[in-house]
Every structure is written in structure tokens, then in C-alpha cells.
Amino acid sequence: MPDFSIGVDLGGTNLRIAAVSQEGELLEKINLSTKVELGRDQVIAEMCGAIRQLAEKYKAAGRFLGAGIGVPGIIDRECGTIRKAANLPGWENYPVGAEIERRLCASGLLENEARIVLENDARVAAFGEQWLGAARGVPNMAIITLGTGMGGGIVMGGKIWHGMNGMAGEFGHVTLEPEGIACGCGNRGCAEKYASASALLRMAREAIAGGDAPALAKASSMADFGAQSIYNLAIEGDVPSSEIFRTFGRYLGIMLADIVNVLNLEMHVLGGGAAGAWDAFAPTMFDELRQRSIVYAATVPDDPEVLPGRPRSSVQRSSVPAEKSPAGAGARPNSRSAANDEGARRTIITRALLGSDAGLYGAARVAVLAG
Ligand SMILES: [Zn+2]
């Protein structure tokens, strides 16, 4: 049995804990719900209980190398604290990392070199995709997660780019509209207000209120109305729904153009549930990118919209939740266009491969590399 570490994905709703071997094999995963209403101590107690359970089980056969905790919020890595976390009330400025370490030490689990590392959830997702997913073997990449909000992470030279204290990669709070919609961060016009699942719902509500979106209005009366419903209408040819995704793609393209111009990375991976609507937003996204980024225009692949390993026809039939793929399974993208560019390096924009497990793999990996 191999040495292993543990990755934790602490979300506002779900708490997931996985044991992952050093070679990237998922040994076991525990899915719990985050009982935010019971308070911080209870959530930490359940998390530590699950870490202990997995560590004790797999320790018999391999060394326990540590645990990485992916948290949705602004992390101060030096202090091991969460500075801001909208979905975890009462956790701000609390030394989460040290507290988990204290509890696991008290139960005798951290007697060797094992470390507890606190990290932002999108940063660990970037690291997971870079280790085992869409950007496997690509040293310089970024992820943009399109979920309820928008997260981001940058990997440079095979390591998470932290900036001064772990806050680098906040693509969701890049300004796209100077006088735009107010954001919870205090700014106006942030990217996550225009290119996220909640942005899709806002645009749908506005289209319905405008009175010219009967199919959307009908769908919105269903209990399960969400981003997937808008996508389903868009691929059926509903004009207002298609327009929503075109707008979404435009904003995403504007933001990507800035990132490509500034960082000139080899690959940009779009993750999160809304990235599954690729075929509905990718055309306008790539139009904006070509028009707005001189670096992208100089490095555009021959067929940028075709996802690696997937023929164009299957791309057009893909659906929102079809993002998952087991670690290391086929579909490994080339960072070079295969056709005719004689080895010239191209800027690849593609979809994530690991789904919500990216964060678990990445969190497990940061614990190993921190040791
Ligand atoms: Zn913001």
C-alpha cells in the first residue's frame, strides 16, 4: 500500500473528505453535509473525525503524509486563518488550520511529519486539474471555476501561485463593468456578477421581467429551475436563453483576454457546473478573446473551440453536468495544436476534467508538497 494524504473540501453545503495515494489514486471518499447551523466547532469535530477514520484505516499500510483543507473564502496562509468566507458565518479570523492540527495531535495522529494545510478551494481545484486533470503535465495554468460565484487559481512552474499571502487568483472580483452590479466584496461590476451560475439566473429573471421570454417564464415556475434549465432551452433554440449564454460568454471572454495578456499561460481551464454549458457560451467567449487579446490573437490554436480528445459533434451535444471524468482517463489535452503550427506553442482554453473531485485531489496534494 502506498503513502497517502487526505484532501478535504469544506463547502457551505457539503463536507467531503478523501484519502488519496501519493500516486493520485483515490482510496476512499467520505461525503458529509456541512452543518453550518450547528456551529464551527461541530463542523471541525466532524471533519477531524473523518480525517482520523481514514488515516487510521490506511496508516496500517502506508505513511500518512498530512491533510489539505480547501475552504471557500479568502485565506491568509501565513496565519492559517480564513479572512472572509460568505458561506461559513462565524469562521472569519479563526485559526482553522491550527485548531485542526491541535485536535489531530491530541489524538496522536500527527506524530510524524504530517502537515495540515489550509488553502482556498479554487486554488486546490487548480492544483488538482494540474496534477491529474485537464492540465496534467502543463506547468503554467489557471483555473476559473464557474459555480454560484466565480473562483480562480493560478499554477506557475507546477506550484500554486499564492501571491504575498495566499490571496492571488481572485478572478471573480476582477471588475468587468465599472458602474455595474454591487458585489458582496464591496466592489461593483465584479466578474462573478456576470459569468457564474447566479449571473445566468439573474439574466433569466431580467429576460422574464422584460416580457419577451415565454419559454423561460414557463420553465421558471418549475421547482428545479436553474442554470441547467436555461441551458436546455438554449440548446433547443430558445432565443432569449441563447442570448443569455452569449452575454455570459462575452463577459468571460473579456476577463480571459485580460488574464491571457497579463500572464501568457499555456492553459486556462474552465471548471464548475456552468462550464458544462461550453457549447452555448464558447463561440462568443472566443470572439471576444480574439478581438481583445493581442497575446491570444498571436497564439490562437487552429480550432480553439474543440475540446481535446472530443470531436466537435460530441462537444455540441454535451450537457451541463457532463464534466466529470475519472483521474487520468483518456482525453488528455495537448498544449500544442496538432495540425500545422510546427511546434509553436498555443494558448489553450479548455474545460476541467475532474469535476468536483479536482479540489479533493488538489487538497491532498498540497499537504504532501508542504511537508
Ligand atoms: Zn466582488
Span 141-192, pLDDT tens digits: 999 999 989 999 999 999 999 999 889 999 999 999 999 999 988 999 999 9
| Centroid of ligand 1 to alpha carbon of 27 (angstroms) | 37
Angle between helices 357-370 and 121-132 (to 10 degrees): 90
Are 356 and 314 in contact, with CB atoms under 8 Å apart?
no
β-bridge partners, 160: 155
| Centroid of ligand 1 to alpha carbon of 271 (angstroms) | 19
| Centroid of ligand 1 to alpha carbon of 13 (angstroms) | 21
pLDDT of res. 80? 84
| Centroid of ligand 1 to alpha carbon of 166 (angstroms) | 17
Give the tens place of pLDDT for each residue, 186-234.
999 999 999 999 999 999 999 999 999 999 999 999 999 999 999 999 9
Low-confidence ranges of the chain (pLDDT < 70): 1, 111-112, 308-343, 371
| Centroid of ligand 1 to alpha carbon of 145 (angstroms) | 15
pLDDT of res. 364? 97
In whole angstroms, give the CA distance from residue 44 to residue 318. Answer: 38
Instruction: State phi, psi for 14 to the nearest 5 degrees.
Output: -115, 145
pLDDT of res. 166? 86
| Centroid of ligand 1 to alpha carbon of 232 (angstroms) | 29
| Centroid of ligand 1 to alpha carbon of 185 (angstroms) | 4
| Centroid of ligand 1 to alpha carbon of 305 (angstroms) | 29
pLDDT of res. 318? 37
Angle between helices 239-263 and 227-235 (to 10 degrees): 110
pLDDT of res. 367? 92
Residue recorded with cell 506524530: 111
pTM of the model: 0.87
| Centroid of ligand 1 to alpha carbon of 182 (angstroms) | 8
Count of beta carbons in the 10 Å neighbourhood of residue 304? 19
pLDDT of res. 312? 46
Residues contacting residue 78 through CB under 8 Å, at least 6 positions apart = 165, 166
| Centroid of ligand 1 to alpha carbon of 4 (angstroms) | 37
pLDDT of res. 85? 85
Count of beta carbons in the 10 Å neighbourhood of residue 60? 7
| Centroid of ligand 1 to alpha carbon of 16 (angstroms) | 27
pLDDT of res. 1? 64
Residue recorded with cell 462575452: 250
| Centroid of ligand 1 to alpha carbon of 108 (angstroms) | 41
| Centroid of ligand 1 to alpha carbon of 168 (angstroms) | 14
Instruction: State phi, psi for 25 to the nearest 5 degrees.
Output: -90, 130
Residues contacting residue 224 through CB under 8 Å, at least 6 positions apart = none
pLDDT of res. 337? 40
| Centroid of ligand 1 to alpha carbon of 176 (angstroms) | 10
Are 172 and 151 in contact, with CB atoms under 8 Å apart?
yes
